[in-house]
Amino acid sequence: MEQFVIQGGLPLNGTLAPSGNKNAALPILAACLLTEEPVKLKNVPLIGDIFTLKQLLESIGATITPESDHTWVVQAKSIVDHCPDPSLCKHIRASILLAGPMLARHGKLTLPPPGGDVIGRRRLDTHIIALQSLGAQIKGTNPFRIETTRLHGSDILLDEASVTATENALMASVLAKGTTKLRNAASEPHVQELCHFLNSLGAKITGIGSNMLTITGVNSLHGGTHTIGPDYLEVISFIGATAVTGGSVKITNASPHYLKMAHLVFSKLGVSWTIQDDNIIVPPNQDLKITPDLDNAIPKIDDAPWPGFPADMMSIAIVVATQSEGTILFHEKLFESRLHFVDKLISMGAQIIMCDPHRCIVQGPTILQAETLESPDIRAGMALLIASLCANGESTIRNIHQIERGYEDIENKLTSLGAKIIRSS
């Protein structure tokens, strides 16, 4: 098992560009199953979860040909297997995204339970209810045996604004007969990008960016070319790392229009940045102070569906709060195990009180001390890496494949900014 050894206390300075958005690339790769024609995808992030989904698609008959490191040509002309490899499915949550396109084009799928980050219960009920509303029959749960003679349009109210359930319902309904109304739909940037991608292949989706999508079914989709947008979660990670190390970084091609809520939230922690065209510039030596609410009340940061503050940013914000002067409450509403990584920050010297599985209070600033750490999931792993960058001494992070499932070439990107990170076995 590989690990990172990180020398803390070095400011990050320089320029870098984020990789393609993992959360957009995964459903877009799955959506290539909807057409027999080739689809060229550019700016594909070369990360663990993408390679796992690539293997899954190839195992059922799709061909994926790299034209260059970040450009792949995907073609699903014929499907030879309707049961993806269980050993691959258990490593990735995105395996559930095969359900929508396989039903829409091929009418059946036997799907083992998906895996992914262990951050609490991650319901599949919303997926199943949406697919049943479109005419699918579900038999069994381990594995799921899903069949249909023909999907038909429906008026669907999702019981929660689930991103992957929205994506599955979208992919299933683009080839369904008739019109589908998808209410309480997720509207995150990667959901919007999937909609635009599907429309570029001939789908008819309107209401993009809202919580009600209208999908008019078509008989078939054609091939095309799509460039995957930048990963805004990676952008926020670099902003947080720059702020806590006291450096100054320019992030190019950052799509700052997706970061308005993040800017509001991080400004509560004293973090600021400026926008120059499509670039973000983080100034040096920021005065990290928590802004209290009116009447000097302790402020709160909580997550919510888009355009609220994304749950995946919570771990980064908590680390920044340990370096900000003042007290703040974090409320993680979605996953009951997301905050369990904070015990590792406490072992580094952070002053954090766990109120319950969903809430913690952070008092800062504290000088973090180097520690030997485990990476429990993608976002917590990146948060611990940021904490190590600003800690005193030399930290070790084990189990780094968790970080590399979501962040491409992370140690080289950070070392190009002046960090000292050594990979070892």
CATH superfamily of 3-19+230-424: Enolpyruvate transferase domain (3.65.10.10)
The residue length of the chain stands at: 425
137: confidence class by pLDDT, cuts 50, 70, 90? confident
User: Is residue 282 a contact partner of residue 248, using CB atoms and an 8 Å limit?
Assistant: yes
Q: In the structure encoding, which two tokens stand for residue 342, read together?
A: 């904070």
162: confidence class by pLDDT, cuts 50, 70, 90? very high
13: confidence class by pLDDT, cuts 50, 70, 90? very high
DSSP per residue, 357-425: TTEEEEEE----B--EEE--SHHHHHHHHHHHHHSBSEEEEE-THHHHTTSTTHHHHHHTTT-EEEEE-
Half-sphere exposure of 130 (CA within 13 A, CB side): 34
Q: Which residue has the tokens 């990172």?
A: 4
Return the pLDDT at 62: 93
Q: How far apart are CA 27 and CA 32, in angstroms?
A: 9
Q: List pLDDT tens digits, range 177-206.
A: 999 999 999 999 999 999 999 999 999 999
**Where along the chain do its domains lie?**
3-19+230-424, 22-227
- Residue 308's φ and ψ, nearest 5 degrees, are -70, 180
User: Is residue 259 a contact partner of residue 242, using CB atoms and an 8 Å limit?
Assistant: no
Q: How far apart are CA 393 and CA 373, in angstroms?
A: 13
Active site residue 155: no
User: Averaged over 140-151, what is the pLDDT?
Assistant: 79
- Pick the catalytic residue from 49, 85, 117, 409: 117
Q: Dihedral sign, CA of 240, 243, 249, 252?
A: positive
120: confidence class by pLDDT, cuts 50, 70, 90? very low
* Pairwise pLDDT comparison (122 vs 399), residue with the higher score: 399
CATH superfamily of 22-227: Enolpyruvate transferase domain (3.65.10.10)
Q: List pLDDT tens digits, range 66-99.
A: 998 899 999 998 877 677 777 777 778 788 899 8
Q: What is the rounded (10 degree) CA torsion for 120, 124, 125, 126?
A: 100
